Amino acid sequence: MSKKQQVSDDLYGQAAGAIGGLAVTFGVLAAIKDKLGLSWPATVLLTAGVLVALGYGAWRLRAAIVRMLAGEARTGTALKQEAPTTATEAAEEAVPAHPELTAALTTAGVIGREQVIRADEVTITDVPTGTLYDFLVPKGRTYEDVEKRLGTVAGMFGVTRLHLTMERSRDNERRVKLLKLHEPPFTKPFPAPTRQEIEAYPGVPFGHDVTGRLAGVPTFDKASLLVAGMTQMGKTTLVNGIITCLLIAYGEFEMYLLDGKFCGLTKFEKKAVRYESSDDPAVFENMVDELNARSDNRYAKIKEAIQKRQPAPKFTPVIFIVDEAADFFAHDESKEGKEQARRIAEKTRSLVAKSLESGISSVLMTQRPSTNAIPVMVRDQFLYRMCLYVASAGTTKVALGDTYFETVAPINPALLDPDIKGQAVLFANGRSTLIRGFNFEDEFIWSVVDQAIAVKQQEKTLAAPPKSPIERAIEIMRNEGVDFMRSVDLAPHLGITEPDPTECGKQLSALLGVGSGRTAQGRGYKLDDLTAAARSSS
Ligand SMILES: Nc1ncnc2c1ncn2[C@@H]1O[C@H](COP(=O)(O)OP(=O)(O)OP(=O)(O)O)[C@@H](O)[C@H]1O
């Protein structure tokens, strides 16, 4: 249908409706006029008045209904809006902030001004050494926010950094376990651990932490340790404790000891593969040379295994321990002295740097942690560092590294009480722990050394591999009680029956893998040379 036609149909419809409406209206008015007996104008006016009044009444009624409905809706919305505010307030009222922790952590800048430590997420326990705070930092924060500002937090608690230790939790990054000591650390000594306690420790314990638990490093494998501290602060005692624990916890290892203080490490002489008591740099250099040769030998074996696609060879760990190392890097300002010091520093750096693969670890101690005592190129190679009491923060940096105070929660060793001996800051794997070294009874150390030797003997007897010619030569010379033996005298012991001395010497040297030396007694072998050669081949 067209639009035009629809419009004309609509007009017809509306006109018909209007005529119908007029006819009905006229009919209704005529009926009213007839019923009431009024004139036509009065009937029209009365009807119009009644209709207007009815319309007004209907409008009033509709408005009242609309108002009523709108009123109900508004009340509902208002209630809905108010409800959450009231609920939040109720929750906040029900869970108040922990005042002490919130104030301390806000002022220390650990949490924001608008944040709180919820009291229902705080547990405070009294332990024998202090007060333990176990709490959750607000959402969006982690324990690291506290750790980074531990010194400031300690200040807020009215104690020093030394009084505070913190632990992270395995269950939640937001959980912080903070221990505030009642007294300065180690005010009361802890008893030295028993053999069983050391055996049960997962790693090598170096001492007690401030709560009396054993603290140390997870492994000494592929690691090196630098121990610095001023004289009489307990370095030697601490390292004697560490060696004792190594003997108990570490299983089989070879020990090279250089006692720069002459008697600091003597208790372990019997167990050492090589023990020297000297402050002569040449002795130090000689030991470093021997160890570097062993290291090179081990590297060669590793390389060979890789080339042959064999599993990496296993080496017996070697630990080189030097008490008072600084003297060996010092020089007398002469040209030769300076050259020797430079050479020794480079060889030591190389030895420490290679410990990772060669399994030869070094422990260097120094009582002179001054700028040039241990060359920086040597110091920087140490994975573990320890610093006992030193007089200044500057000296701490010499021992622990130039950037030590920028690490997480550093502890300043200059703040340690120098009267409580053996305290040290252990800096390992980027974290600092305050410990106190063990002060074992002599009898305990002797028994540990004896037992380690006995176990070694037993193992040797049980699984004695056939001796190499060089080992047999060493044994022969030791049994004879001589430091030197002529080739012609040694050869028959090793089954060489060649009568011609030159040929005999050649065969012997080929068998041993070492050349002979000429001495006043004739051509032959020194026990020391054979021992060094035997060591460097293992
Ligand atoms: N953990 C400890 N507990 C109790 N006493 C200790 C402890 N450590 C060391 N001492 C005591 O402190 C004194 C000094 O110790 P030690 O000889 O080990 O220090 P040092 O730093 O090696 O000294 P130096 O470098 O002068 O030889 C010793 O009398 C020792 O008994």
Binding-site residues sit at 229-236
Q: Which CATH superfamily is 207-448 part of?
A: P-loop containing nucleotide triphosphate hydrolases (3.40.50.300)
Nearest atom in ligand 1 to the alpha carbon of residue 232 is 23
Domain boundaries for CATH 3.30.70 within the chain? 99-181
Q: CATH code for 465-536?
A: 1.10.10
Backbone φ, ψ for residue 178 (5° rounding):
-115, 125
Q: What is the pLDDT of residues 89-136, one digit of tens each?
A: 444 455 689 999 999 999 999 999 989 999 999 999 998 889 999 999
Is the pLDDT assigned to residue 391 strictly greater than 80? yes
What is the average pLDDT score of the chain? Answer: 84
Q: CATH code for 99-181?
A: 3.30.70
Domain boundaries for CATH 1.10.10 within the chain? 465-536
The finding on whether 237 has its CB within 6 A of some atom of ligand 1 is yes
Q: How far is the CA of 437 from the centre of ligand 1 (A)?
A: 10
Mutation test residue for ligand 1: of 390, 420, 421, the one with most atoms within 8 Å of CB = 421
- Is ipTM over 0.90? yes
Q: How far is the CA of 376 from the centre of ligand 1 (A)?
A: 26
Is the pLDDT assigned to residue 275 strictly greater than 90? yes
Backbone φ, ψ for residue 96 (5° rounding):
-75, 160
Residue 215 tokens read as 């603290």
**Would the pTM of this model clear 0.90, i.e. be above it?**
no
- The SS3 call for residue 31 is helix
**pLDDT at 52 (0 to 100):** 65
Whole-Å CA distances, 87 to 76, 96, 139, 367, 519: 17, 14, 20, 65, 99
Nearest atom in ligand 1 to the alpha carbon of residue 438 is 1
CA distance 228 to 274: 24
CA distance 389 to 395: 10
CA distance 534 to 538: 7
The finding on whether 235 has its CB within 6 A of some atom of ligand 1 is yes
Residue nearest (by alpha carbon) to ligand 1 atom 16: 234
The finding on whether 234 has its CB within 6 A of some atom of ligand 1 is yes
The answer to whether residues 252 and 456 touch, using CB atoms and an 8 Å cutoff, is: yes
Q: How far is the CA of 228 from the centre of ligand 1 (A)?
A: 13
Is the pLDDT assigned to residue 357 strictly greater than 90? no
The finding on whether 407 has its CB within 6 A of some atom of ligand 1 is no
Beta strands in 101-174 (DSSP E): 122-127, 130-136, 164-168
Binding-site residues for ATP sit at 229-236
Q: How far is the CA of 244 from the centre of ligand 1 (A)?
A: 16
Work out whether strand 384-387 and strand 225-228 pair parallel, antiparallel, or are unpaired.
parallel
Strand partners, 423: 436
Give the residue, 55 or 173, on which the prediction is more confident. 173
